[in-house]
Amino acid sequence: MSAFLSSHPALRVIFILFCILVLLFIAALAALVIAEKTVPAPAEECRYVLVLGAQVYETGEPSKQLQARIETAFEWWRSHPDAIIIGCGGQGDNEPRPEGDVIRDWLIARGVPETQVFSESSSVNTRDNIAKAREFMDGAENGVIVVTSDYHLPRALAIAGDAGLKASGLPAPTLPEWWIKNHFREVLAWGKYFLQKIF
């Protein structure tokens, strides 16, 4: 192998660059795992809870990922019954209803008062989720709590901070069989995030 690369300088450069990219990806993945394990606990005085959307099945039911996020927010509300919950997420091409509406209706059906649940139903990504959710918050001096999947939470908090919010988070668990796929995509999403910050 080394003899072959030595006789083909261009391929050697490509191989070295590939190895560097692999190492950078592994380092980024390790940083992501550490970040998601060290998210600070939400402050008790936070009034607003933002539940970030995920896929809604064609049946109108929340996907397992969205279900985990909703249940995490619901458990927080049960011990903080004054909390205002905002379900975030528009309607994808393969979704029968907006994600925000599904979040709201699920929570109301389980006892959260209608006056304490709102649906933001036109956003298309995390940055848009957070920007449009601000319209439902009458002041958030004590901060907001962002609820999303554990792997997604560090970036969501960074985006909330960029929007001027004092944000903390509640992580929803990810199913083990989706761990590799979701973390791989999230590393790439962090790359996009930093590129947007730079340019």
- Alpha-carbon distance 91 to 99, whole Å? 6
Q: Report which of residues 114 and 7 the model is more confident about.
A: 114
pLDDT at 124: 92
pLDDT at 2: 58
At 114-162, the pLDDT tens digits run 999 999 999 999 999 999 998 888 876 668 999 999 999 999 999 999 9
Q: Which CATH architecture has domain 48-198?
A: 3-Layer(aba) Sandwich (3.40)
- What are the two backbone dihedrals, phi and then psi, of residue 146, each rounded to the nearest 5 degrees? -100, 125
Q: Report which of residues 70 and 196 the model is more confident about.
A: 70
pLDDT range class, residue 71, cuts 50, 70, 90: very high
pLDDT at 13: 72
pLDDT at 196: 87
Low-confidence winner among 6-15, 74-83, 96-105, 126-135 (lowest mean pLDDT): 6-15
pLDDT at 8: 60
Q: Concatenated DSSP letters for 30-74?
A: HHHHHHHHSPPPPPTT--EEEEE---B-TTSPBPHHHHHHHHHHH
What is the DSSP-derived secondary structure letter of residue 121? -
Burial of 116 (0-12, 13-18, 19+ CB in 10 A): middle
The ranges assigned to domains in the chain are 2-37, 48-198
pTM score over 0.85: yes
- Alpha-carbon distance 197 to 162, whole Å? 10
**Residue 68 corresponds to which tokens in the numbers above?**
């985990």
**Residue 39 corresponds to which tokens in the numbers above?**
């998210």
Distances (CA, A) of 198 to 140, 160, 191, 193, 195: 28, 17, 11, 9, 5
